[in-house]
Amino acid sequence: MKNSPEITAHLNKLLTLNFNTERAFINTAEAIESDSVAKFLRLISHDRSQFIKALDSAIRDQGSVPEYPEVTVPLTIGYGLNEILKNIKASNNEEFIFTEIGKIQMMDIERYQAVINKFDFSEKLESTLKKQKENLVMTLYAINVYKDSCSRNKIAV
């Protein structure tokens, strides 16, 4: 496959993105008071774990070695995730929290789409990346449904 080192580099970026996001969601779930939000964060962190396994396999299929971030290093993710997570931990408003989680999902959807658009992948790898992106989209949809439910409950009360 042409561009294999460049493809591997982008796959490693997605691997790191999912690894850090999974850790962030787990840490946030442990620090938040809302059981429903904590359960949701654990659920989507499990999705990220599955993404990591698939990306690890895809990188190895490219003949490369996956590059995981250092676990001992404090979580520094960039692209505003640390600020979003700080806002989530400081809030008790579930609608606000889900809005912030939705921002993370949206940023990651955009990153996946950029990688998908950049390369001509094998059918298997493209399918894997598209399925992961679609999973992020479905999670974003679920977030919006939950936020709508929260809004309706406020109006009904």
Q: State the pLDDT at residue 156.
A: 57
Q: State the pLDDT at residue 1.
A: 47
Going 67 to 12 to 14 to 84, the CA torsion angle's sign is positive
Report in angstroms the alpha-carbon separations of 27 from 42, 105, 122, 154: 9, 17, 35, 29
Q: State the pLDDT at residue 105.
A: 93
Domain extent at residue 130 = 4-156
Amino acid identity, position 121:
F
What CATH number did the domain enclosing 64 receive?
Answer: 1.20.1260.10
Per-residue pLDDT of the chain (157 residues; tens, 9 = 90+): 455 899 999 999 999 999 999 998 998 898 888 888 899 999 999 999 999 999 999 999 999 999 998 865 444 445 566 777 777 777 878 888 888 899 999 999 999 999 999 999 999 999 999 999 999 999 999 998 888 877 776 665 5
Dist. CA 88–CA 139, nearest whole Å: 17
Domain count for the chain, please give it: 1
Dist. CA 71–CA 117, nearest whole Å: 30
